[in-house]
Structure 1
Amino acid sequence: MVYTRYIVGLTVAIPLLATMVDAGLSGCAKSIALQITNIYENGDTKFHYDYCENLHDGRGYTAGIVGFCTGTADAWEV
């Protein structure tokens, strides 16, 4: 049941966020977009900038508010 709410939320949020990206988010809209991202990445709306953990999932260390990974090299870009 919990996962169903997340999936329904994603189906609504992703198209909405995709159109907002082109508009250049600022202020309140940017904050809302980041909070929605945090819900799916961390389970709440608080920003976890200090998060870093090895989840033993083959992707190295996962860090930051959106889960950048050292094993996939996206953390190195940040």
Structure 2
Amino acid sequence: MDIAEWWPKLAEDARAWLMANNGDALPSHLVEQITAAGGVVTSDAWWVGESGPNGFFLSDRATDWIEEAANGEHP
């Protein structure tokens, strides 16, 4: 599922955290919310970044998308 599909399904506080902490490792509860909204974090979707000992990261393209969303460039 594309980020544009699961983004509006996130709680407002989750979207706010992603915008305020864009590029940071996602806390596990946020990864769970993305998964619950339909985002498959183990997929090869363009928005999936690296996952490792420091946590789960969104891709650079996804952080750009979130920045655009924060600037009102996405519905």
**What TM-score does the superposition give when structure 2 sets the normalisation length?**
0.33
Larger Cα Rg: Structure 1 or Structure 2? 1
TM-score, normalised relative to structure 1: 0.32
> Which structure has greater helix proportion?
1
